[in-house]
Structure 1
Amino acid sequence: MLLHTDRLGLRRFTAADAPAFSAYRSDPAIARYQSWDAPFPLEAATERIRTYNDDPGQPGWFQYAVELTADGSLIGDVGFHLHDNLLQGDVGFTLAPGRHGRGYATEAVRAVLHHRFAGGLHRVSAECDARNTRSRRLLERVGFQLEGQRPAFTFADGEWSDQCLYGLLADQWKRLPH
């Protein structure tokens, strides 16, 4: 495990994760606010896992597989993009259907933020579809501040949607209760 909480382990993806990864990313309700289309075939999941950055300390996207420590089941992922300057990053997250409303995504995102800010990061950013109220609430719950909104920024499924921009500075993170 790269990171762990009381209930979760965050680790590198493996080829064995492809079926579960494909399944939760194939749910239309999950894919609606994301950058991929449903269904997300097993072949696409296998290829995506193969291309993930293997070193979370190197610039680029690193995808943490989120599993339940109780049974080892894959329940989602947290993506973290480390900028070339090694001082800034972007975070994103996906949780499998049926796992929402239990605090798992909040717990996983907090674990990643804690680790990254402890490693010297200055700032983390996040973006989400303005209609995705659950993601917006999660970002605000872990301390992100809404910094702006891009009107009619994303065109998907035949409609335009606004994009919300969030940010969190290391100094703000340090002042939050954990």
Structure 2
Amino acid sequence: MGTERLVLRRFWASDAAVLAEYRSEPEVARYQSWDAPFPMAKAEVAVRNFAASSPDAPGWFQYAIELVEEGRLIGDVAVRTHENLQQAEIGFTLASAYQRRGFATEAVTAVLDRLFRLRGLHKVTGECDARNKPSAALMERLGFTREGHLRQQTFIKGEWTDDLIYGLLAEEWLSGS
């Protein structure tokens, strides 16, 4: 799967070093569940798990985002498909050097197209730390509706954080594209 500038593919074992690199960036890890630095051993386990999962089965699947021009891994899009195969949750991470250049929007758009047009999902949700303005803005640009603001919902990295909950229905995506 891909776009003009990106290839979205399964992770390869050789991606572990770059995954460790961008997940170790403090600004990338700030609102995520992992801590920086992200050790190479952890990246190798993560990449093995990513490679073993299926994009069409219930559970998590991680798409590697590769920049065609450089042939380089620049981030990932995570999809957790529910047991009912009709709903999913989406998340995205990009190396800081590749942020604010439209790559995340392009990658997430391609994944949403696959989920709604090819797989026929009914709804995709997204969640982010309320302080993570770029992630919230990306979901809003793509047509997600903010469905909730959960106050002091998550205890992470030593503090309680607010979460924003977003949802996008198939009919909204298909009529808006």
Q: Which residue of 2 aligns with 1:168?
A: 168
Counterpart contact for 2:53–2:60, Cα < 8 Å: no
TM-score by length of 2: 0.96
How many residues align structurally?
175
Name the SS for the 1:4 alignment partner: coil
Task: Give the unaligned 5+ runs of structure 1.
Answer: none
8 A Cα contact 1:33 1:132, kept in partner: yes
CA displacement 1:60-79 (0-9 Å, x = unmatched): 10000000111210000000
Question: 2:69 maps to what in 1?
Answer: 70
Structure 1 CA distance for aligned equivalents of residues 49 and 143 of structure 2: 31
Larger proportion of helix: 2
Instruction: Check if 1:30 corresponds to 2:28.
Output: yes
Contact conserved, 1:12 with 1:54, CA < 8 A, in 2?
Answer: no
Query: Percent identical across equivalent pairs?
Result: 53
Long gaps (5+) in structure 2: none
Distance in 2, matches of 1:21 and 1:9, equals: 16
Aligned to 1:123: 123
1:128-170, CA deviations, whole angstroms, 9 ceiling, x for partnerless residues?
0000000000000111100001101122233221000000000
State whether residues 78 and 91 of structure 2, in contact with CA within 8 Å, keep that contact through their aligned partners in structure 1: yes
Over 6 Å off, 4+ runs: none
Counterpart AA for 1:11 = R
Distance in structure 1 (CA, Å) of the matches to 2:18 and 2:158: 28
Give the TM-score of the pair, scaled to structure 1: 0.96
What is the CA–CA distance in structure 2 between the aligned matches of 1:75 and 1:89, rounded to whole Å? Answer: 23
For 2:41 and 2:57, locate their aligned partners in 1 and report how far apart those are by CA, in whole Å.
26
